[in-house]
């Protein structure tokens, strides 16, 4: 009798293993269905899903079009011409010049790789005291470039004033603009939306909130 029980024992163990395996499989299936809500969370961090959300909201810039103090996408104020040429492919750059205080200096017009028909970004170069040519000013006319708050070309001035703390508006080399010396940025205002015969220096509250921004200037 005892030997009979011993013979059954391995079979019982095997049967128990099958039962436990089936229970575990059922448990995993239930866990999988219970994890469905979290699948949405994981997709939220998926790069493709993030890109789709980005494309759906034109006011949110990607990293190549983000404006921040001293920076515009890959560009950084004070970078050398050599560094600029390493970062930006040659087909996107066209050599030109600009005038400053009666002097002629080198510049580049930079086309956008994603939208070559977009307005070119103008890069003003200037030699430093050692003769090294550096990026000194960036003039942006392409509406793809925006701050993290979504402010850029085409935005109403009222939004820029509220989000960027602009207090004064005055004439600049780029045109009549709201200037923030704290972050060295100027927001050029459409002259057609300004009051007639306005003074050269105004309080930002005197500018109609609906006045449109036509350009952004980053400077040193």
CATH of 65-220, one of 2.40.128.20, 2.40.100.10, 1.10.357.10, 2.60.460.10: 2.60.460.10
Q: Which residues of the chain have pLDDT under 50?
A: 1-57
What confidence score (pLDDT) does residue 28 get? Answer: 45
Nearest-angstrom CA–CA distance, 122 and 119:
9
End-to-end CA distance of the chain: 97
Q: Please state the pTM of the whole predicted model.
A: 0.71
Residue extents of the structural domains in the chain: 2-34, 65-220
What confidence score (pLDDT) does residue 18 get? Answer: 43
What confidence score (pLDDT) does residue 155 get? Answer: 95
The DSSP line for the chain is -HHHHHHHHHHHHHHHHHHHHHHHHHHHHHHHHHTHHHHHHHHHT-HHHHHHHHHH-TTS--GGGBEETTEETTEETT-BHHHHHHHS-GGGEEEEEEEETTEEEEEEEE--SS-TTSPPEEEEEEE-TTS-EEEEEEEE--TT-B-TTS-BTT-BHHHHHHHH---EEEEETTEEEEEETTTTEEEEE-GGGSPTT--SEEEGGGS-TTPBEEEEEE--
What confidence score (pLDDT) does residue 134 get? Answer: 98
What confidence score (pLDDT) does residue 164 get? Answer: 84
Nearest-angstrom CA–CA distance, 119 and 142:
5
Nearest-angstrom CA–CA distance, 61 and 190:
22
What confidence score (pLDDT) does residue 145 get? Answer: 97
């Amino acid at each position: 009798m005892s030997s009979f029980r011993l013979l059954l024992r391995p079979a019982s163990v095997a049967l128990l293993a099958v039962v436990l395996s089936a229970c575990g499989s059922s448990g995993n299936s239930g866990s999988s269905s219970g994890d469905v809500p979290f699948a949405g969370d994981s997709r939220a961090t998926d790069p493709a899903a993030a890109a789709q959300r980005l494309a759906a909201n034109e006011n949110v810039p990607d990293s190549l079009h983000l404006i921040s103090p001293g920076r515009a996408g890959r560009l950084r104020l004070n970078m050398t011409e050599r560094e600029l040429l390493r970062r930006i492919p040659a087909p996107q750059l066209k050599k030109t010049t600009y005038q400053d205080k009666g002097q002629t200096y080198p510049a580049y017009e930079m086309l956008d790789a994603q939208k070559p028909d977009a307005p070119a970004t103008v890069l003003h170069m200037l030699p430093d005291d050692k003769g090294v040519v550096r990026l000194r000013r960036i003039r942006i006319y392409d509406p793809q470039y925006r701050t993290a708050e979504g402010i850029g070309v085409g935005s109403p001035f009222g939004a820029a004033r509220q989000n960027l703390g602009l207090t004064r508006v005055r004439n600049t080399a780029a045109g009549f603009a709201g200037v923030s010396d704290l972050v060295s940025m100027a927001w050029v205002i459409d002259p057609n939306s300004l009051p007639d015969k306005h003074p050269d220096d105004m309080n930002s509250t005197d500018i109609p909130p609906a006045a449109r921004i036509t350009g952004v200037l980053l400077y040193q």
